[in-house]
Amino acid sequence: MPQIVIDIDPVIVRLGPLALRWYSLMIMVGVMSGVWLSARFAEKRGISADDIYTAAFWVVGGGIVGARLAHVIDRWDYYAANPLRIPAIYEGGIAIWGGMLAGGIGGWLFTRRAKVPFWPFADSVAHGTLFGQAVGRIGCMVNGDVAGKRTEDFAFIYTNPNALLPRPEYFNTPTQPYPLYEMLLNLLLFGTLFIVARRARFNGAVFLTYCVGYSLIRFFLTFTREEALFLFGLQQAQVISMIVVLIAAYLYLYLRSRPAPRPNATPAGA
């Protein structure tokens, strides 16, 4: 099986104490592309693009804080001994579920404040966010911070000493290319959401399909990563994925069963 050697320095350039990293760059590109796409999708649902750009401060800001906080809590033993590393998000280390929860809360608060219908808003943001997630995983490929288990099959081999691998023994060792797998599956789900959007009979269907689809991606792909077991022989991300699937499935059935609004009624999702 082919094995790809990655000998790219995660740091693009250093300017004194500051450093521009591939990880930070791709996260920024992912956020910008995700927000732009969300605005385009929102306009098709009757929501102003300006509302999406304003909401981005709530969603992205909350998401970054939540994602970093969840990561720090998950690896508290390390950060308790190295508290100065807690704000070093530019080096990598975010937990997507923490980001989705905090970003979702931020988005919901914005819709209540701005009186924007929540479910159409959620459909638009989820679809755009998924593309941004795929772009962000390019930075993870260079960084090495989400490398998978050792394998003799198709693999990445990190050789640059500055790679931020989760385990020292992963250097110069074939590991599962987890970020590549997730990027490709995210793009596949991104395309699927266009079909869901065309066939959906109620607002919220795209958002909930995203929740279920991404949860299944994380649940099965996490088997390729070697993390601490959390509950019932599963890793933390897998347990959270199962919870999200159950909640999203319930909401999907609930929204689908609601009677269609009358022409003069408030649109679904308001």
Asked whether residue 270 is domain-assigned, the answer is: no
Domain of 90 in residue numbering reads as: 3-201
Asked whether residue 104 is domain-assigned, the answer is: yes
Asked whether residue 124 is domain-assigned, the answer is: yes
SS3 category, 175:
strand
- Which residues of the chain, if any, have pLDDT below 70? 89-94, 259-270
Asked whether residue 266 is domain-assigned, the answer is: no
Asked whether residue 129 is domain-assigned, the answer is: yes
Q: Which two three-digit tokens encode residue 36?
A: 């732009």
Asked whether residue 250 is domain-assigned, the answer is: no
Residue 247 has a CB neighbour count (10 Å cut-off) of: 14
> Residue 14's pLDDT is what?
86
> Residue 91's pLDDT is what?
60
> Residue 66's pLDDT is what?
80
Asked whether residue 119 is domain-assigned, the answer is: yes
Asked whether residue 136 is domain-assigned, the answer is: yes
The total of structural domains in the chain comes to: 1
> Residue 230's pLDDT is what?
77
Closest CA to 222 of 204, 200, 238, 202: 238
> Residue 157's pLDDT is what?
95
Q: What is the amino acid identity at position 179?
A: P
For 60-118, write each residue's pLDDT tens digit.
888 888 878 877 777 777 777 778 777 776 666 667 778 888 888 899 999 999 999 99
> Residue 43's pLDDT is what?
96
Residues forming a β-bridge with 158: 6
> Residue 50's pLDDT is what?
95
Give the strand pairing for 3-6 and 11-15. unpaired
